């Protein structure tokens, strides 16, 4: 394992490297560099995780730096900061964690302990299962997000899809403890296999994955196909799981192979991520006002140009299947 620390504060970087030496597995290698050379060093060293000092940049520059550092989610990026910062902006930019600390008594010790735990969680967060296939099971993937009323709306969409439909990945605003039961109920009533998300789960046709309450759900892709990551994190747009987090990851993992759907819900979570999906070539559908219990999230997605079309709830599945049959 190799860890790269990016900070303009050489003393702090040295302290972190020294502290992590005693808490990380034997054989872990460390290196440090300043902000200016961070991207080049990342490419040269191919680290297992990157630690980024937010305070080494001008206020507000850190999210853009994280975006530019590497393709989103291609390497775990953990931001750390002293004082205050926009944690949501860092997570939105692609950081898997953002850790605050204070220069108080044992402040450095606490920072190192939290960094160590976050590194181990991040580098072990994916590929915990061995895929059954060595070639991708499908190229297409459907990602769905929603909030108020979406637990009733999602089954309507899923019932209109065949049992061998492309994999479906869903983030609904549901609390911890309820999503497993919800997935089990859907599994009993639908033709698809429905499960609660677990990190490292590879997708296949006919599989529906529901984000676990209290955990962000992200989509990834490698030579074996699509797989998901489910882990705790700070709230984004006031939610964990956040639809924007899922859609952002789908934009980069699936690009034009993704079909996005945003269902009924209050607020705007998902609209920005859906716009990222569209920019990467995805086709997006927003639920129409005529059927939405709360016309908030789909309204924003329609107004900001993220949605290609707005449809009544009972028309969404049929529209998806027509596009798939046409090879779109």
Which residues are identified as catalytic? 147, 173, 269
Report CA dihedral (317, 323, 327, 328) to the nearest 10 degrees. -120
Say which DSSP state 113 is in: H
Phi then psi for residue 160, to 5 deg, are -85, -5
Is 35 in contact with 7 (CB distance < 8 Å)?
yes
C-alpha span between 88 and 198 (Å, rounded): 23
Q: In 267-312, where does DSSP find H-type helix?
A: 271-279, 297-303
Report CA dihedral (21, 22, 24, 28) to the nearest 10 degrees. 40
**Helix count (H) and strand count (E) of the chain?**
11, 14
Alpha carbon distances (Å) from 94 to 155, 245, 251, 252? 30, 9, 12, 11
C-alpha span between 187 and 30 (Å, rounded): 45
Alpha carbon distances (Å) from 153 to 175, 241, 314, 321? 17, 18, 9, 18
**Which residues are bridge partners to 80 per DSSP?**
53, 99
Alpha carbon distances (Å) from 317 to 150, 157, 273? 15, 5, 21
The owner of tokens 């070539």 is 281
Phi then psi for residue 182, to 5 deg, are -60, -45
Say which DSSP state 112 is in: H
């Amino acid at each position: 394992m190799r860890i790269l620390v990016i900070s303009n504060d050489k003393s702090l970087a040295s302290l972190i490297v020294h502290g992590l030496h005693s808490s990380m597995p034997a054989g872990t290698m460390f290196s440090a560099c300043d902000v200016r050379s961070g991207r080049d060093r990342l490419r040269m060293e191919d680290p297992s995780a990157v630690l980024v000092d937010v305070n080494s940049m001008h206020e507000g520059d850190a999210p853009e730096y994280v975006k530019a550092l590497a393709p989103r989610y291609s390497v775990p990026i953990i931001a750390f900061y002293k004082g205050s910062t926009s944690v949501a902006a860092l997570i939105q930019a692609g950081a898997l964690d953002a850790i605050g600390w204070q220069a108080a008594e044992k402040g450095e010790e606490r920072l190192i302990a939290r960094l160590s735990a976050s590194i181990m969680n991040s580098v072990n967060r994916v590929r915990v299962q061995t895929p059954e296939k060595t070639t991708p099971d499908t190229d297409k993937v459907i990602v769905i997000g929603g909030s108020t009323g979406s637990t009733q709306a999602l089954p309507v969409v899923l019932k209109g899809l065949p049992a061998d439909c492309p994999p479906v990945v869903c983030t609904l605003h549901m609390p911890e403890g309820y999503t497993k039961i919800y997935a089990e109920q859907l599994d009993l009533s639908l033709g698809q296999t429905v499960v609660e998300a677990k990190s490292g789960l590879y997708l296949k046709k006919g599989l529906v994955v529901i984000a676990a309450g209290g955990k962000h759900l992200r989509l990834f892709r490698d030579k074996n196909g699509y797989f998901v990551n489910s882990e705790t994190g700070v709230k984004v747009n006031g939610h964990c799981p956040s639809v924007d987090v899922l859609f952002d990851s789908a934009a980069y993992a699936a690009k034009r192979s993704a079909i996005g759907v945003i269902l009924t819900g209050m607020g705007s979570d998902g609209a920005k991520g859906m716009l990222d999906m569209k920019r990467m070539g995805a086709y997006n559908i927003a639920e129409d006002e005529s059927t939405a219990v709360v016309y908030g999230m789909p309204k924003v997605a329609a107004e900001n140009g993220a949605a290609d079309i707005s449809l009544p709830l009972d028309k969404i599945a049929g529209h998806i299947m027509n596009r798939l049959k046409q090879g779109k």
